[in-house]
Amino acid sequence: MNDTISLLMNHRSVRKYTNQPVSQEQLETIVQAGQMASSSSNVQAYTVIAVTDSELKNKLSECAGNQAYIQECPVFLVWCADLSRLKKAAETHQPDATSYEGAVENFVVATVDVALASQNAAIAAESMDLGIVYIGGIRNQIETVAELLGLPDYVYPVFGMCVGYPDPNHGAGLRPRLPKEAVLHMNGYNAEQNERGVAAYDETSVRYITERTNGQRTSSWSEQMADKVTTPSRLLLRAFLESKGLNKE
């Protein structure tokens, strides 16, 4: 196992940080590492907003369900899918042509681009002994977040990312993942293999969550996922995306 694999295999979400600042040089290096991720057709359809202002972090924390670590981390990155540059390119170079920057395909491309770039950035941060945690909660009040950050049409906030030096007592442990047989299928999808993997993971996840919560929670992974998928969540997202000109055709 080389150093890169070791770093990847030891990823954990960090939700408690020291007061040590993240330097501007570190921040720029992290984002530049993100930019080196693969991008479909080189569209690079994302923008990263680094939030260091305490008042703005507090407001974003409120939007995300009052997650305190957004307030406490030195830098909060908001990763945005951004197709506004494509819109501008079409207007500049082909002003008489119909453009499709808001089409579902481009929406998917931009969202995937954000995910690839942010994960590169996360690994870069961890290589500097920093910790991160992704924050999907910024989509709870996505319209307010967009207003706070001044996002134009064809741009939407996909998720946030806390960045900072982990507190020695942050307590984050390695969360077990689905077994390889559930995820890695050879030459075609294998439903039976998937079911076996999930069954094995349910046993592992029960042990993990029972130990982590001192017996306060004992539900399996599939039980947790059943609760998640049967509970309405962020149902206003589609209307917001359409209001930004996205996900239309």
The predicted-structure confidence for 12-42, as pLDDT tens digits, reads as follows 999 999 999 999 999 999 999 999 999 999 9
Element (H, E) at 82: strand 75-82
Map out the domains of the chain with their CATH numbers: 3-172 (3.40.109.10), 180-225 (no CATH)
Residue 52: what pLDDT? Answer: 98
Separation CA 106–CA 113 (nearest Å): 10
Distance CA 245, CA 84 (A): 10
Q: What's the CA gap between 160 and 165, in Å, rounded?
A: 17
Q: How far apart are CA 86 and CA 106, in angstroms?
A: 10
Q: What is the predicted pLDDT for the residue at 172? A: 65
Rounded distance between C-alpha atoms, residue 45 and residue 119, angstroms? 15
The whole-angstrom separation of Cα 37 and Cα 24 is: 21
Map residue 76 onto helix, strand or coil: strand
**Amino acid occupying residue 248:** K
CA distance to 5, 67, 241, per residue, from 237 (Å): 36, 20, 6
Residue-by-residue pLDDT tens, the chain, 249 positions: 899 999 999 999 999 999 999 999 999 999 999 999 999 999 999 999 999 999 999 999 999 999 999 999 999 999 999 999 999 999 999 999 999 999 999 999 999 999 999 999 999 999 999 999 999 999 999 999 999 999 999 999 999 999 999 998 876 678 999 999 999 999 999 999 999 999 999 999 999 999 988 999 999 999 999 999 999 999 999 999 999 999 887
Angle value at C-alpha 198, between 192 and 199, nearest 5 degrees: 90
Amino acid at 82: D
Q: What is the pLDDT of residues 151-188, one digit of tens each?
A: 999 999 999 999 999 998 876 678 999 999 999 999 99
Residues 167, 183 contacting (CB under 8 angstroms): no
pTM: 0.95
